[in-house]
Amino acid sequence: MNKHTKDQSFAGLTDKFAKNIYATAKGQIRLAVLARDLAPLYQQSTPLRVLDIGAGIGQFSQNFARHGHHVTHTDIADDMVLAAQERHQHEGLSSHYSYHCASLQKLPELLQGQQFDVVLCHAVLEWLAEPADALPLLKRFLKPQGKLSLMFYNRDAKLMANMVFGNFDYVEADLQVKKRVRMSPQQPIAPAAMDLWLKEHKLAVLQRTGVRCFHDYLRDPEQGKQHFDQLLRLELQYNQQPPFAALGRYQHWQITHADD
């Protein structure tokens, strides 16, 4: 890791984030995959306590709020939290939320030992200077039978995509560039490394899903827009099957405490 790397926030980028991430085919695929994977949790009739870390503008957690669960929404950027509050108020969901503006590292002190049935941590770790250090923090928030929904940027898929598109120099440079693009994750994580971190902290993977197993390898991205419904059906059909799941630009893993 570059010693000068720091945790990154999207403060001041709320509109750009919403436009670049969710108002696109890739963002729609992300939300659809998460909705399919986590439906057995948010469709439960028993009220759950949910912690959403790095929750941004709070789009995905609305699935839990609409089913009567309570969501603790946290993000390091105050403008993201404000935008989420406005969004949830507009949707009539505010009563199901509490909000905190804080980094992941500050949450143990802020939440004072609280534990949750479900912890959502989507596209957060790859923006941290030390992503491995997040795992013991996330574990602290999980009830004994709780579920962690962890989505992280897949280094293996990034390497594969750059080879497909002929960026050989970039791959030989170990995916390092002199000038970092702010909206590009700074610490892509190899699934093999994540497996080691989880084992170290006695966490076990229940389900592995690839997010955008096909979309990011299309020779003509316009085909993905023109045939989006068909593309999404195929993503959902294959994204939990090997070898396709491992090719997802993001990995979505459902995790719980490992048996001793």
What one-character-per-residue DSSP string does 122-178 give? ES-GGGSSSGGGHHHHHHHTEEEEEEEEEEEEBHHHHHHHHHHTT-HHHHHTTT--S
- Residue ranges of the annotated binding site are 30, 54-55, 75, 122
Tell me what pLDDT residue 5 has: 55
pLDDT tens digits, 178-201 = 556 556 787 899 999 999 999 999
Q: What is the pTM of this model?
A: 0.91
For 14-257, give the CATH class: alpha beta
In the prediction, which pLDDT does 149 show? 98
Find the mean pLDDT for residues 211-230. Answer: 94
Strand 250-257, strand 203-211: pairing: antiparallel
Match 């690839």 to its residue by tokens: 210
Q: What is the pLDDT of residue 95?
A: 98
Are 162 and 175 in contact by the 8 Å Cβ rule? The answer is: yes
> Which residues, at least 6 apart from 160, have a Cβ–Cβ distance to it below 8 Å?
217, 247
Q: What's residue 176's pLDDT?
A: 85
C-alpha R_g of the chain: 18
Binding residues for S-adenosyl-L-methionine: 30, 54-55, 75, 122
Residue 152: what pLDDT?
98
Q: What is the pLDDT of residues 71-85, one digit of tens each?
A: 999 999 999 999 999
* Mean local confidence (pLDDT), 35-63: 97
Q: Span 220-237, mean pLDDT?
A: 94
Q: Which of 180, 182, 149 is nearest to 251 (CA)?
A: 149
- pLDDT of 203 reads 98
Main-chain phi, psi angles of 45, to 5 degrees: -80, -25
Q: pLDDT digit string (tens) for 95-153?
A: 999 999 999 999 999 999 999 999 999 999 999 999 999 999 999 999 999 999 999 99
Judged on CB neighbours under 10 Å (0-12, 13-18, 19+), 244 is middle
Q: Which residue has the higher pLDDT, 91 or 183?
A: 91
Backbone region of residue 241 per phi and psi (left: phi > 0; alpha: psi in -120 to 50; beta: other values): beta
pLDDT at 2 over 50: no
Quote the pLDDT of residue 3.
Answer: 47
The pLDDT, as a whole number, for residue 30 is 96
Higher pLDDT: 214 or 12? It is 214
- Phi and psi dihedrals of 198, rounded to 5? -65, -40
Half-sphere exposure at residue 115, Cβ-oriented, CA atoms within 13 angstroms: 10
The rounded mean pLDDT for the chain is 91
Band the pLDDT of 211: cuts 50, 70, 90.
Answer: very high
For 208, list phi and psi in degrees, rounded to 5.
Answer: -120, 130
Q: Determine the average pLDDT of the residues in 46-65.
A: 97
